[in-house]
């Protein structure tokens, strides 16, 4: 059977050929010509995914469409791979999940971690923490406001001693034990190390199917810190996707901010340069201008700023000196405090017409040097942390640049997980100005994963990547179906 949806040519390289015939090269080596073997065999199933990926590339390439015999061979290979994975005559989403199922089972077996069981254990710890919260609430209710403050002070000050006549020693002791137990549970619950270890096995298994990671070309304005943050997250993505992203005409401009992270595929970036204010020339002496009744010069210091000497040699434009056209920032020199003002660029200047000195520096302005369209991607320390957020936002970039068809897969998968009609409002509709953010009614582990946009992107891939490789959402434990889908997209798209 053929892959669902129209073929796409974007980002496709011409297939490798030998003597005019297509040679399948799944992973790092040629696929064996022999039978794929039983689907229960891990290596045989990985080979099936490799052949599925290679055949899909040909079916979706211009080379395949223009070469009937190669296209027919690729179609046969694709059908055989689907049969080996047990998904004959299935939808593209089901085929994708079947490929992801292989990656998931191989990786979790090698890691010795069952994500679903681990998430179940985490949920039990969360339930225990909830019970401790109830106990702490009951204890502070018995203690009252003043004694509750004393109880919290005990936690921050080990040397603090309770009043002898408090009469609440048992409650204080129970409070301390419950609070410390809650802190220990928090450390275990918030530890993402097991999820990150499992993520490394996911990446290692995917690397057996296709190259992973690589270097990305960024916009020249990108800072070292921003590039380093996103470079760390690139190891979670196929090398082909990274290359296609680098080749996109809208260069990626990464930033680290304090507000909510986002990705904007097309945004006008303004490049500015700090330059001197326009030079000023005067046709008459300072005394003459200063005596003109039309000019109201408030102080001697203002006078020094408004009328500097002209410098025609360096001036790009010439303006007549006016009463409020200051070219310098000035501070009156105080012999008792000879140090210059704060900031750079100050120099001591003697007024040419008056017996007075000033600290002076040229005024500057920002000049627009260039306007261009870029893709802006930002991350933030808030929320899930920089690493997980970088993974999330890069997924949105890949929706636009990696390969046409990913968004369609997301939409079809979201349809399959939608549980009811209508949408739900996220965050109570209070997070941002304008229209409230809405999501479909789904059975995902987090409602945000069903968020509805304009059809150009979804949150399925981004949240899925953040969960699998960044440790968010308990590593998508408890949602094996979504783990299979995300890994399948990475393996075959």
Q: How far apart are CA 101 and CA 481, in angstroms?
A: 9
CB 244 within 8 A of CB 214: no
Instruction: Check residue 87 and report its DSSP letter.
Output: -
More confident call, 217 vs 42: 217
Q: Retrieve residue 245's tokens.
A: 């992203």
What average pLDDT score do residues 126-149 get?
Answer: 85
CB 245 within 8 A of CB 402: yes
| Angle (deg, nearest 10), helices 386-401 and 224-233 | 80
Q: How far apart are CA 132 and CA 185, in angstroms?
A: 10
What's the pLDDT score for residue 169?
A: 75
What's the pLDDT score for residue 193?
A: 85
**From residue 19, how far is each of 34, 61, 97, 308, 336 by CA, in Å?**
21, 19, 35, 79, 90
Q: Name the nearest CA neighbour of 365 among 400, 326, 402.
A: 326
Tell me the DSSP string of 62-79: HHHHH-HHHHHHHHHHHH
Give the phi and the psi of residue 89 in degrees, each rounded to 5.
Answer: 55, 30
Three-state DSSP at 273 gives strand
Lowest mean pLDDT, pick from 213-217, 229-233, 349-353, 389-393: 349-353
Lowest mean pLDDT, pick from 5-14, 221-230, 297-306, 363-372: 5-14
Instruction: Check residue 384 and report its DSSP letter.
Output: T
pLDDT value at 18 more than 60: no
Q: Retrieve residue 385's tokens.
A: 């942390």
pLDDT value at 429 more than 60: no
What's the pLDDT score for residue 455?
A: 66
More confident call, 466 vs 314: 466
**Which range has the top average pLDDT, 64-68, 232-236, 316-320, 426-430?**
232-236
Q: Retrieve residue 156's tokens.
A: 């921050």
CB 99 within 8 A of CB 488: yes
What's the pLDDT score for residue 465?
A: 96
Q: How far apart are CA 327 and CA 305, in angstroms?
A: 6
pLDDT value at 395 more than 80: yes
Q: How far apart are CA 8 and CA 395, in angstroms?
A: 19
- Secondary structure (H, E, C), 398-413: HHHHCCCCHHHHHHHH
Beta bridge partner(s), residue 255:
378
Helices and strands (H, E) in the chain, number of each type = 15, 12
pLDDT value at 430 more than 80: no
What's the pLDDT score for residue 153?
A: 75
CA dihedral 60→64→68→73, nearest 10 degrees, is -80
Q: Name the nearest CA neighbour of 460 among 430, 435, 440.
A: 440
- Largest Cα separation within the chain, whole Å, is 101
Cβ neighbours, 10 Å, residue 175 = 25
Residues 6+ apart with CB under 8 A from 453: none
User: Per-residue confidence at 354, pLDDT binned at 50, 70, 90?
Assistant: confident
Mean of pLDDT over the chain: 78
Three-state DSSP at 120 gives helix
What's the pLDDT score for residue 381?
A: 74
Pairing relationship of beta strands 364-380 and 357-362 according to DSSP bridges: unpaired
Q: How far apart are CA 418 and CA 434, in angstroms?
A: 26
For the entire predicted model, the pTM comes to: 0.73
How does pLDDT run across 213-232, given as a tens digit for each residue?
Answer: 999 999 999 999 999 999 99
User: Per-residue confidence at 453, pLDDT binned at 50, 70, 90?
Assistant: confident
Tell me the DSSP string of 307-376: -PPP-GGG-SSEEE--TT---EEEEE-BTTB-SPPSSS--EEEE-SSSS-EEEEEE-EEEEEEEEEEEEE
Instruction: Check residue 86 and report its DSSP letter.
Output: T
The sign one gets for the Cα dihedral 87, 89, 91, 92 is: positive
């Amino acid at each position: 059977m053929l892959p669902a949806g129209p073929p796409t040519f974007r980002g496709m390289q011409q297939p490798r050929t030998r003597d005019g015939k297509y040679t399948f090269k799944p992973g790092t080596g040629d696929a064996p010509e022999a039978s794929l073997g039983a689907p229960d065999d891990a290596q045989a199933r990985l080979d099936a995914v490799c052949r599925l990926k290679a055949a899909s590339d040909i079916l979706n390439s211009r080379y395949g469409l223009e070469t009937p015999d190669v296209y027919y061979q690729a179609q046969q290979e694709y059908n055989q791979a689907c049969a080996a994975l047990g998904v004959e005559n299935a939808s593209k989403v089901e085929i994708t999940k079947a490929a992801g199922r292989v990656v998931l089972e191989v990786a979790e077996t090698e890691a010795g971690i069952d994500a679903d069981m681990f998430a179940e254990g985490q949920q039990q710890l969360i339930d225990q923490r909830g019970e401790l919260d109830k106990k702490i609430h009951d204890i502070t209710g018995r203690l009252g406001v003043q004694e509750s403050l004393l109880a919290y002070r005990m936690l921050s000050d080990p040397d603090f001693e309770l009043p002898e006549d408090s009469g609440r020693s048992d409650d204080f002791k129970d409070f301390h034990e419950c609070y410390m137990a809650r802190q220990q549970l928090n450390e275990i619950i918030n530890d993402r190390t097991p999820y990150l270890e499992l993520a490394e096995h996911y990446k290692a298994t995917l690397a057996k199917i296709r190259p992973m990671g690589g270097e990305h070309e960024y916009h020249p304005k990108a800072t070292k810190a921003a590039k380093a943050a996103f470079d760390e997250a690139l190891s979670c993505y196929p090398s082909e996707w990274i290359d296609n992203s680098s080749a996109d005409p809208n260069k990626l401009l990464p930033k680290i901010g304090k507000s909510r992270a986002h990705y904007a595929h097309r945004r006008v970036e303004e490049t500015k340069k700090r330059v001197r204010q326009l030079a000023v020339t005067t046709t008459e002496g300072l005394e003459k201008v200063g005596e003109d009744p039309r000019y109201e010069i408030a102080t001697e210091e203002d006078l020094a700023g408004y009328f500097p000497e002209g410098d025609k040699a360096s001036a790009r434009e010439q303006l007549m000196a006016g009463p409020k056209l200051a070219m310098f920032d000035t501070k009156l020199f105080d012999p008792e405090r000879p140090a210059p003002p704060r900031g750079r660029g100050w120099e001591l200047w003697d007024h040419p017409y008056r017996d007075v000195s000033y600290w002076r520096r040229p005024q500057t302005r920002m000049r627009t040097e260039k306007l261009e369209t870029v893709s802006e991607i930002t991350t933030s320390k808030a929320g899930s942390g920089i690493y997980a957020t970088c993974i999330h936002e890069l997924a949105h970039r890949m929706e636009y640049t990696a390969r046409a068809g990913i968004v369609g897969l997301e939409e079809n998968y979201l349809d399959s997980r939608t549980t009811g009609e209508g949408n739900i409002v996220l965050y109570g509709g209070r997070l941002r100005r304008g229209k409230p953010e809405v999501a479909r009614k789904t059975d995902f582990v987090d409602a945000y994963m069903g968020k509805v946009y304009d059809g150009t992107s979804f949150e399925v891939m981004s949240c899925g990547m953040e969960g699998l490789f960044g440790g968010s959402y308990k590593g998508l434990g408890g949602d094996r179906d979504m783990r299979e889908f995300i890994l399948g997209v990475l393996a075959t798209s």
